[in-house]
Structure 1
Amino acid sequence: MTGSLHRVCRQRLAAIDAAGRRRRRRVIDGGHGVQVCVDGRRALNFCSNDYLGLVTDPRLAAALSASARVVGTGSGASQLVTGYNTEHAALEADLADWLGRERALVFSTGYGANVGVIAALLGKGDHIVADALNHASLIDGSRLSGAAKHIYAHGDVAAADAALAGARDGHRLLVTDAVFSMDGDTAPLVELAQVARARDGWLMVDDAHGIGVFGPDGAGRVAEAGLDSGAVPLLTGTLGKSIGAAGAFVAGDDDIIEVILQTARSLIFSTAMPAAVAAAARTGLSIIRAEPERRAHLHALVARFRARAADTGLSVAASDSPIQPVIVGEERQALALSDALLARGYLVGAIRPPTVAPGTSRLRITLSAAHDLTDVDGLIDALAESWQALSGAVGASP
């Protein structure tokens, strides 16, 4: 039996290699900020989700260290046993205040939050209407719920409305990312909220890539759109991107959050995040609210990148977020560009199927407030040179 398992796995790996889709982990030695040592090589990091440069901020490290000296390094149990600490409670209160919601509930991971929330509220006989480019956690949460799934074309409000209208029985959940992780574009949140309300549906928005970057106080795309808990009753996000820590949350009205606490299996059966991590997240959140100049600098970098890319003739997807995908097309070409950039001192990830559709492999460039204009200019120059060299070798063009 073991021999057959080895054979099956070898066959699968051969198929992955033949398609140019094998992924490998790069080893970071030291901090995970914009300056990294990756596989023994120094490089500027342009593929992290650390949008505000807080991952290596000494204030977060100090908060984590001080808390760990008091509460230790782990929580020891799930939240509903003995894993829930005053640090968790304080973080949830801070999140609720920041996002303008009655209550927030912290999860150990963003994947666990989205899977847990959807499966806690929807089941057989219900309907989930979802954007075609939603994050995998939203897709998997929909599958696990047992509800009927209706996928609408990316960003197509009319299609979402039609799907909601056609789901006549059971509860109806309309679910979307706010900022899409591989394209960097933003969902039509106001229009989606309108159709959800008109069809008596519940709107769930994952604002993981908007939190900290957009909106008043950096409260995200949902806040920027002026959508309260009546319009978006289920708001999820992460603590591991702009906030600079780890974990995730759902925010909403008190009774909704209480039902999720009581029934979300990914929360009930998971060890709570370490309380010291919650302390670090609180510090990151306070910095976001107190230092709007970080967001201003980040948006200036986005504008600089897009202007330089246009001048260079690079094919960059339409995005005003820190996610700036350069569409390449073929898997091996994307990998070759990523390797060429690393040789020049720039760490940029090559994104390939199944994460994105075949023929749309890309370099997913992400900007951070810890970068400066010189970093962006250097990246554009290195990318243009690398692409020109590759084009000359294989007869391709940007």
Structure 2
Amino acid sequence: MSARVYGSPEFRIGDRAVGPGHPCYVIAEAGSNHNRDLDTALRLIDVAAEAGADAVKFQTYTAEGLYSRQTPEMSYLKDKGLVGERESVWELIKRVEIPWEWHADLARHAASAGITFLSTPFEEAAIDLLEDLGVPAYKIASYEVNHLPLIQYAARTGKPLLISTGMASLGDIERALDTAAAAGARDLLLMHCAVNYPPRFEDLNLLAIKTLRSAFDIPVGWSDHTMGNTADVVAVALGACAIEKHYTLSRDQEGPDHPFALEPDELAAMVVAIRETEASLGSSVKRVTEAEAEMFRLGRRSLVAARDLLAGGVITPADIAVKRPGFGIPVDALDQVVGRHVAHDVVRDQVLQWDDLER
């Protein structure tokens, strides 16, 4: 791999720090689940904000700029009934593309809801539109990792780039990063991704998060198309600094992205699971925590008088019991206690202290 330094270990998207040691940056991916209905798109923003996501993200493309009209049909779309009987891929994309005139309204609504507005650009004109709106970062989709002119154009904005890596080899990723860095990008994050809708768990290869971090020494996240939040929890445990997840108002709606998307309550549960995972990872230092202090004192065992002991008597093993609580002479000091004289009368079940023994 290249020895090139691609960026810093952390950066900011708006007012949020992203990178190791910071809370995972959660992107709620609305995608095309707006159904070309502005009210639905606005409600999706509200749902993302209510769920506690850091950003809501749409996708900015045109059918004309994305697909040839001669693109063959895609089996997963056909098999799942996501494309009409006589509808081409181009026609499907035309049907679900977001009207570009919506973007200003969406960005304003996101700002009022207290959530960052993002959109994935699929052509240079989309970047121009999003630049006018002041978006703070750009996501490069897995399908575009070899679209070096697009990566270069996005990098020239100087904004952070989040590059998805589904279907990509390490060589593909290195070329994309080299292109971005040469064009001036300094804040880069790779998103491990398994492209399928949804993918099987055995195809996720989440350990590749560690591989990407080791190979390129920049923050790594996880772009997820699975159902539920198991993969997201595992990704965070493996060090993912960002999570992207599709969501919808209802999986019963028609459209290519609805069937594998989370519904509002599931999105909120995913954010909670991510935050609980981060909290549970804690520190690598093995010690008695503050939360354990009381039980450390009361729940562990120490040495206790097995019967009444008279002052001056010599302590035998039969005089000692090992019981809770744990604030007396520690159990591992038993050999230092047997054979000592009792300093004063001790009653049965008394927790022994060193001053109960003659010096």
**What is the TM-score when the length of structure 1 is the normalising length?**
0.26
**What is the TM-score when the length of structure 2 is the normalising length?**
0.28
| Rg (Cα) greater in structure | 2
Q: Which has a greater percent of helix? A: 1
